[in-house]
Amino acid sequence: MGRRLVPLTLDNLPDLPKRCRSCVFWELDPVSGEAAVQAGKPELEKEAWISAVLLEWGSCGRVAYVDDVPAGFVLYAPPAYVPRSLAFPTSPVAADAVQLMTARIMPGYQGQGLGRVLVQTVAKDLVRRNVKAIEAFGDARWEEPGCVLPADHLLAVGFKTIRPHPRFPRLRLELRTTISWKEDVEMAIDRLLGAVQKEPVLRPL
């Protein structure tokens, strides 16, 4: 089973679930988001947001493929690009952190460790960019997939609660930006992804 993770771009945006491609929950403030939905153009707003973040800040997502089939994705960006975060009771996200906005593992690929791999891949990307931490709002009463990640999942992959709340705690994952930490992360990613980067073995005809 070949697994690979690639940066999110406008080219592979169609590989996200339709509901997620047209969701601007995080990308717009509540009023603008509702207006985009009412105008019937949330997909265009999503594309515009991704385009702007890519141009001004850089990579803001990853898409996971298993045997070339989209299996999951993750979105992240500095809090200045995530206006919805200010509407949360435990805001704001710290100025030295990048916000983990949302992630999704497709049905049929859950329970295989892909969620942890996605977070580790984000961590690896941000360590290289000298970011100090990742923060996220968790849903402590999570029941089904939505825009806010389950708090339990965030805690399970290494986040710590820094602003408690009965529904939407804010959590943080520290990224030690030393050389040894970078090497540890890269080794862990290599182990998690296994032979992802290797060329497929040619079979005799």
Tens digit of each residue's pLDDT (9 = 90 or more) over 60-84: 999 999 999 999 999 999 999 999 9
Is the confidence at residue 188, as pLDDT, over 70? no
**When comparing pLDDT for 59 and 185, which is higher?**
59
For residue 119, the model assigns a pLDDT of 93
Backbone angles phi, psi at 85, to 5 degrees: -60, -30
Place of tokens 């929950």: 25
Is the confidence at residue 203, as pLDDT, over 50? no
Which pTM value belongs to this model? 0.85
For residue 176, the model assigns a pLDDT of 76
Is the confidence at residue 197, as pLDDT, over 50? no
DSSP symbols for 138-185: EETT--S--SSEEHHHHHHTT-EEEE--SS--EEEEE---SHHHHHHH
Span 13-17, mean pLDDT? 95
C-alpha gyration radius of the chain: 17
Burial label, 178 (beta-carbon count in 10 A; 0-12, 13-18, 19+): exposed
Q: Which residues contact 202 (CB under 8 A, 6 or more apart)?
A: none
Q: How far apart are CA 129 and CA 14, in angstroms?
A: 27
Contact between 135 and 100 (Cβ < 8 Å)? yes
For residue 184, the model assigns a pLDDT of 64
Span 119-128, mean pLDDT? 94
Q: How confident is the model at residue 179 (pLDDT cuts 50, 70, 90)?
A: very low
Identify any residues that bridge with 174 across adjacent strands, giving them in sequence order.
Answer: 133
Span 159-184, mean pLDDT? 82
Is the confidence at residue 1, as pLDDT, over 50? yes
- How many CA atoms does the CB half-sphere of 173 hold within 13 Å? 24
Q: How confident is the model at residue 106 (pLDDT cuts 50, 70, 90)?
A: very high
Q: How confident is the model at residue 2 (pLDDT cuts 50, 70, 90)?
A: confident
Give the angle 166-168-31 at the CA atoms, nearest 5°: 130
For residue 112, give both structure tokens. Answer: 């295989």
Contact between 134 and 76 (Cβ < 8 Å)? yes
Span 35-46, mean pLDDT? 93
Give the angle 130-52-77 at the CA atoms, nearest 5°: 35
